[in-house]
Chain A
Amino acid sequence: MKKLIILIFLTSLISFSAHAGSEGQEELSKNSSSEVKDCFEGINRGIFAFNQVLDNTIFEPLAKGYRLLPSPIRSGTSNFLSNLSLVVTVPNNVLQGDIGLAGKNTARFAVNSTIGILGLFDPATKLGLNDYSKEDYGQTLGRWGVGEGCYIVLPVLGPSTARDTIGSLANYMGGDAWYNITVGQDTHYVSDFDYYASKGADGIDFRAKNLEAINNLEKNSIDFYASVKSLYLQDRKKRILNSDAIIETQDDSDWEEIETQ
């Protein structure tokens, strides 16, 4: 019931955002810099500030500590988490109609889970099953043509959109096999702790890989909140387009009226 209420609330955010975008010239000019509406900017900024405190006091120190671990442990952890993410990627490949890619990723999961000892090693890449790119239910909704809706900053989890948040709820409704066998059902082999520990490790692994880049961005931004929002939305756009061709992801109309030197 709780999940249903959240789902209805988030769906309403998508429609609210669409409505906000059509409220005349004043509203349009306010949002002209970005296609995605920041419907609750005040609240978002508050949560963003809270997340920054969490990051400074917990995640950044943990990421720094994680960095001190020997390289094989870090790459093993990273490989394990990447392999685990395939249980969400493969169904999304199918939902997006990328059947060939779903097959390739299934083979990748099979090879790395067995020969690669539960995904700690990555022999699949050496066998030519490379270029793995994560997919999630938010991306699938994007591919199906669902708009982003309002931009949202989630406590702890960080930037998202109404669409991506709805998409991530699918993980808790049977769409994530790892969640199903840890939290969803009592299998006696793995528990809730394993699920939440893997999510925490994923966050720390990401932070450790981007330690300098994030700190550098924070130090040199004059509005860090706006920078993170722009980075997140551009990155999601690229991921949904599934394109490496940069020209397809860039809006050239932005550059038409530039007076150059």
Chain B
Amino acid sequence: MHKKKLFFFLLIFLNLTFINKLFAIDPYSFVQETADRASEALNKRQSKEEKMEILKIIAKETVDIKGIGYYSLGAYKKTISDEKKIEYFDIFEKYFLKSFSSRLAEYTDPRIRVDSQKKLNDKYTMVSSTLLATDKKPEIKIDWRVVTKNPDKPLIIDVVIEGVSLAKVQKEEFSSIIQNNDGDINVLFNILKEFVDKE
């Protein structure tokens, strides 16, 4: 009887491990698929506003917006209250989606080839890719920091273009605004709100 039980549990355990591996998404494939989705959206004959709406949907599904928001706060993430954090993440998501989609919607026919991936630790994997050259522009190296804490749902947390981390640029932008306003984080909130409301 015990042997049967043991065998039964072993079977369940092996199945779960197998299923887990089966559904774990490879960061390499995840980035290629995401880049292809964005490229397809940008190639459609639509207005900039319509493209932006599709890009926002893609970003909500594939980007760790909360993680980027947290990173962008830098040292200030430790000093603000939980209430302020909730307020911040709400504004930040709106700001990020508008800023991200507006930047990307300007591009047409971007072709990205994923080249390799390197697991940094259990939490992050770096995926290297190339934005292929066109007649007007040379090829550009783009690296993607992917959060793999949940292997079933990898998320992009940073894009590094030719060695320049966009998350770091944003973090330093936020920090500059807060510092130049005597550490008042509300000024940053107001600027983010203004950006979101801007036509």
Assess whether B173 is interfacial by the CB under 8 Å rule. Answer: yes
Q: A33-B171, A260-B67 are in contact. Are A222 and B191 (CB under 8 A)?
A: yes
Chain B CB within 8 A of A57 CB? no
Verify B164–A222 contact, CB threshold 8 A.
no
Of all chain B residues, the one with the shortest Cβ separation from A231 is B164
User: Quick check: A33 and B176 within 8 Å, CB to CB?
Assistant: yes
- Specify which chain A residues have a CB less than 8 angstroms from the CB of B40 in the assembled complex: none
Tell me if B59 is interfacial: C-beta within 8 Å of chain A: no
Q: How far is the CA of A71 from the CA of B75 in the complex (A)?
A: 48
Query: A13 to nearest B CB, angstroms?
Result: 20
Question: A258 to B172, Cβ gap below 8 A?
Answer: no
B67 and A258 contacting across the interface, CB-CB below 8 Å: yes
Q: How many A-B residue pairs have CB under 8 A?
A: 110
A117 to B105, CA, bound (A): 41
Interface string of B62-90 (1 = CB under 8 A from A): 00111100110011010000000000000
Q: State the interface size on chain A (CB cutoff 8 A).
A: 38
A191-230 contact mask (Cβ, 8 Å, vs B): 1 or 0: 0000000000000000001001000100111110111011
Tell me if A258 and B141 are in contact (CB < 8 A). Answer: no
Contact B120 A258 (CB under 8 A): no
Decide yes or no: A247 and B70 within 8 Å by CB, A30-B179, A230-B169, A260-B149 being known contacts: no
Residues of B within 8 A of A255 (CB): 71, 123-124, 145, 157
Contacts of B66 in A (CB 8 A): 259-261
Residues of A within 8 A of B143 (CB): 246
Cα separation A238 to B75 with both chains bound (whole Å): 24
Q: For residue B64, which residues in chain A have a CB less than 8 angstroms away from its CB? A: 260-261
Q: Let me know if A23 is at the binding interface, CB within 8 A.
A: no
CB pair B168 A246 closer than 8 Å: no
Contact assessment for A234 and B103 in the assembled complex, using a CB-CB cutoff below 8 Å: no
Residue A185 CB within 8 A of the other chain: no
Q: Closest residue of chain B to A234, judged by CB?
A: B164
Known: A220-B102, A230-B164. 9 other contacts (CB 8 A): A33-B179, A71-B135, A226-B176, A234-B165, A247-B118, A250-B165, A260-B149, A260-B157, A261-B67
